[in-house]
Amino acid sequence: MTQAEAKNVNVWYDSFQALKDISMTFEPNTVTALIGPSGCGKSTFLRLFNRMNDLIPLFRVEGLVTVNGQNVYSKDIRLDEMRKKVGMVFQKPNPFPKSIFENVAYGLRVNGISNRKEIEETVERSLKQAALWDEVKDSLKKSAMELSGGQQQRLCIARALAVQPKLILMDEPASALDPISTNRIEELIFELKKDYTIIIVTHNLQQAGRISDATAFFYLGELVEFNLTKKIFLNPDNERTQNYITGRFG
Amino acid sequence: MNTKQLKQRIAFSIFGTMSFIVVAILVIILGFIVIRGMSAISWEFLTEMPKDGMTKGGIFPAIVGTGCLVLGSMVFAFPIGVLSGIYINEYLTESWLKKFLRMMTNNLAGVPSIVFGLFGMALFVNYLSFGDSIIAGSMTLGLLALPVVIRLTEEALKTVDDNLRLGSYALGATKIQTIQKVVIPIAFPNIMTGLILSIGRVSGETAPILFTVAAYFLPRLPHSLSDQVMALPYHLYVLATSGTNMEESRPMAYGTALVLVSIVLIINVSASLLRRRIQKKVKMN
Amino acid sequence: MTVIDNNIQQIRTDLVQMWTLVINQMEKARLALINGDKNLAREVRMNEKRVDAFELKLDMDSENVLMLKNPVAIDLRFILSVLKINYNLERIGDYANAIAKVAEHANGPMPEDILQPTHLPEMFFTAQSMLQESLYAFEKSDRNHVNVLFGMDEKLDKPNNNANVIISQLIKEKPDDTMLILEALSIMRKLERTGDHILNVAEELIFYFDAIVIKHSKIHKNQ
């Protein structure tokens, strides 16, 4: 079973076509990297899966986007229910100015879970999964803003894990971090692959190479090539892909 | 010293002088009022009714009156202002409606306060038959404060990083949950500051209360919302221009001015203190 | 032109020079052997140091690109294949050097009646043609020329497979020339090995062009 799928997806912002006839499938327990120059549509594509684009004025989508076999853009879907099943990690760590505990508990609370014990267990489990527990277990009441950038990003990952999504979207999750923090995030992504399906947008090609199983190259709103990462990095089928990843773009 | 450095120095001294002049003006005004008004200030002045054609006694009813009006106007302006600010900033996308509402709010802020007074008299005092009363005056003052409250609320909400909203939506929160649990708590210190600053502004206004509530001389405390009251700015105006004995009441006028200025200053200072307090608290929450 | 382009261009130029040098070494070694030209033999032995120097430089430059430039796709394949082509060319250079050493110590040209039965001239011709063809294939990125190489290698294998029979026969016929005949055998072996190294190069070229790994596959085994 595929975890997520896009079928003949076209996206417009007003009259500008941001994505052109994209079809891709994402298998469970894989990491897929989306690469391409700025403005190529990879972030737009990523945000289709939790309908984050809806917030942008004059956004219009055609085609089929499914998560767990469910049409994400179906008329009778409940947006908040749907988003709960898709975790998202943003480029800049964006913890809420609340305590570490409350950050992770937030997703549970807004989804109507109020059982103290259940929340505590989930917070602990999520922080452990995000490899942050040992660093914060004695200071759960401390403000999340006092954590380092790398810790904040792992907190945001824990926060996303708490609502038990199947699919996790990551939009350049390590681009604002130093190499050591980046390394920890990458290790974490590798670990999370066991339980989740991950789609990650990255500008760092080496990062795509290190963590992803499959890589998709976007250019000017088109999906130029979607292949195993090994294949893309050794011998891409498309010359535009090769020119991009070898830095001979133009 | 080369010409570049010289130019730099001249420029900086001009800027420095200008900002110093601003401070100096404030200091002079305050000093002037303090020196002239200090002699009138006493416990009795603050707690007693005016006597002898307002040449003796205190300004207690005016202080209470201003307090009532400020409180009343805020009860009226806060909910409407804050909610419209939230609506404009959180619910409206960039559209003609948003632009229109912004423009209208700005225009409302630009209306001279005496016009508010006239409007308040026409609407609240006459048409709604509230008569000259605390409720009419409060509503008029509230109208005056409304655009300020809306603008400041909007500005406060704008400073909330959009990524936090997106982060909340991504966790399955609805819009109202996001606003309630993320946006408002973060914007709260700034909204509060805005509110307190608008109190400061309202408490000094004379024109809007002139036709709607202010009493020339009423040496008793109000009993209900439909009572008239004395108010500090109007009382000051009366003492300075149309008292029974101008010479005698002059020190009383300066005393009143000092009290009014002190109230506004205290409000402003407490606004920034409160803001710092809450900001810390929000972070820790 | 990207930064990595400069490095790769430099490596490419160096590799072509090394390749040409090795081709010349083999030709000079052949001439020295057949004509008994000791001066030419000595020149080959002097030039061996240049081959080694090229190998070191190419190794270092390739390592630097790997280390610092994060080559991917065609760049990565280029560097990986250069590292191996480089090694194989150096070995071929060694063989030319060894052949020249034989010529240097010989008393005159290799006699015709040893050359003919051992098929040394044909073997030289084949090995040198393969060297030329492989360089051409590299410079022109020509896949077809690579395929030709696999067929040519068989011409080296055939005389070599019969080498023991040929040599023992020759020794029986001319027991006085036993040393010389054994030298000829070692040269046959070296030329055969040269062919193998060129096939290794061919495999690297295929990897470079198409990322296909054919090592130890059928094509290689049908000798």
| Pairwise pLDDT comparison (C26 vs B97), residue with the higher score | C26
Select the residue of B171, B186, B284 nearest A107 (Cβ to Cβ). Answer: B171
Select the residue of C2, C3, C73 nearest A233 (Cβ to Cβ). Answer: C73
Residue extents of the structural domains in chain B: 62-284
pLDDT at position C219, please? 46
What does each of the 285 residues of chain B score in pLDDT, given as a tens digit? 688 888 889 999 999 999 999 999 989 998 998 888 888 888 878 877 777 666 667 788 888 888 888 888 888 899 999 999 999 998 888 788 888 988 888 888 888 888 988 888 888 888 888 878 888 888 998 988 888 899 889 999 998 998 999 999 999 899 999 999 999 998 988 888 888 888 888 888 888 887 887 777 777 777 777 777 888 888 888 887 876 666 777 788 888 888 888 888 888 888 878 778 777 765 554
* Cβ neighbours around C149 below 10 Å, total: 21
Q: What is the SS3 string spanning C5-35?
A: HHHHHHHHHHHHHHHHHHHHHHHHHHHHHHH
pLDDT at position B134, please? 85
pLDDT at position C202, please? 95
Instruction: Name which of B68, B65, B225, B84 is nearest B146 in CA terms.
Output: B84
**Given its phi and psi angles, is residue A244 left (phi above 0), alpha (psi -120 to 50 degrees) or beta?**
alpha
Q: Is B161 on the interface with A (CB under 8 A)?
A: yes
Q: Which residues contact C67 (CB under 8 A, 6 or more apart)?
A: none
Q: Is A236 on the interface with C (CB under 8 A)?
A: yes
State how far residue A150 is from chain C, nearest Cα, in angstroms: 25
Mean pLDDT within C24-35 = 95
Mean pLDDT within A6-35 = 94
Tell me which fold the domain B62-284 belongs to. Answer: MetI-like fold (1.10.3720)
Six-digit token pair at B82?
Answer: 């804050």
* Cβ neighbours around A16 below 10 Å, total: 9
Mean pLDDT within C140-161 = 88
State how far residue C145 is from chain A, nearest Cα, in angstroms: 21
State how far residue A242 is from chain B, nearest Cα, in angstroms: 34
- Cα–Cα distance, C201 to C198 (Å, whole number): 5
B171 with A99: Cβ contact below 8 A: no
Q: Is C71 on the interface with A (CB under 8 A)?
A: yes
- pLDDT exceeds cutoff 90 at A48: yes
- pLDDT exceeds cutoff 60 at A61: yes
Query: Minimal Cα distance from A158: which residue of B?
Result: B171
pLDDT at position C79, please? 95
Select the residue of A79, A110, A143 nearest B171 (Cβ to Cβ). Answer: A110
Mutate: best of A96, A100, A139, A157, partner B, most B CBs <10 A: A96
Paired residues of B162 in beta bridges: none
Task: Give Cα separations from B193 to A173, B75, B109 (angstroms).
Answer: 35, 16, 18
Out of B55-64, C8-17, C94-103, least confident range: B55-64
Mean pLDDT within A137-143 = 92
pLDDT at position C90, please? 97
pLDDT at position B55, please? 64
Residues from chain B that touch A84, judged by Cβ atoms under 8 A, are 171-172
B177 with A88: Cβ contact below 8 A: no
| First CA to last CA distance, chain C | 43
Residues from chain B that touch A81, judged by Cβ atoms under 8 A, are 172
pLDDT at position B285, please? 46
Six-digit token pair at A191?
Answer: 């670990």
- pLDDT exceeds cutoff 50 at C221: no
Q: Is A50 within 8 Å of A84 (Cβ atoms)?
A: no
Six-digit token pair at B46?
Answer: 């603050």
- Cα–Cα distance, B126 to B134 (Å, whole number): 14
- pLDDT exceeds cutoff 80 at A181: yes
Six-digit token pair at B167?
Answer: 């982060």
| Pairwise pLDDT comparison (A48 vs B92), residue with the higher score | A48
- Cα–Cα distance, B77 to C160 (Å, whole number): 104
3-state helix, strand, coil in chain A (%, to 5): 40, 25, 35
Q: Is A240 on the interface with C (CB under 8 A)?
A: no
Chains C and B touch (3+ CB pairs under 8 A): no
Percent of chain C predicted with pLDDT > 70? 95
Paired residues of A167 in beta bridges: A86, A197
pLDDT at position B68, please? 87
Q: Is B232 within 8 Å of B137 (Cβ atoms)?
A: no
Select the residue of A81, A102, A143 nearest B172 (Cβ to Cβ). Answer: A81
Question: What are the pLDDT digits (tens) for B43-74?
Answer: 878 877 777 666 667 788 888 888 888 888 88
Chains A and B touch (3+ CB pairs under 8 A): yes
pLDDT at position A57, please? 81
- pLDDT exceeds cutoff 80 at A82: yes
Question: What are the pLDDT digits (tens) for B111-144?
Answer: 888 898 888 888 888 888 887 888 888 899 898 8
Mean pLDDT of all residues belonging to chain C: 90
**In the structure, what pLDDT confidence band is assigned to residue C43 with cuts at 50, 70 and 90?**
very high
pLDDT at position B52, please? 64
Q: Which residues of A touch B (CB under 8 A)?
A: 50, 52, 55, 57, 79-81, 83-84, 86-88, 90, 92, 94-99, 102, 106-107, 109-111, 143, 145, 156, 159-160, 162-163
- Cα–Cα distance, A62 to A52 (Å, whole number): 15
Task: Give Cα separations from A24 to A45, A60, A73, A214, B56 (angstroms).
Answer: 10, 19, 16, 11, 87
**In the structure, what pLDDT confidence band is assigned to residue A250 with cuts at 50, 70 and 90?**
low
State how far residue B97 is from chain A, nearest Cα, in angstroms: 14
Q: Which residues contact A62 (CB under 8 A, 6 or more apart)?
A: A8, A9, A10, A11
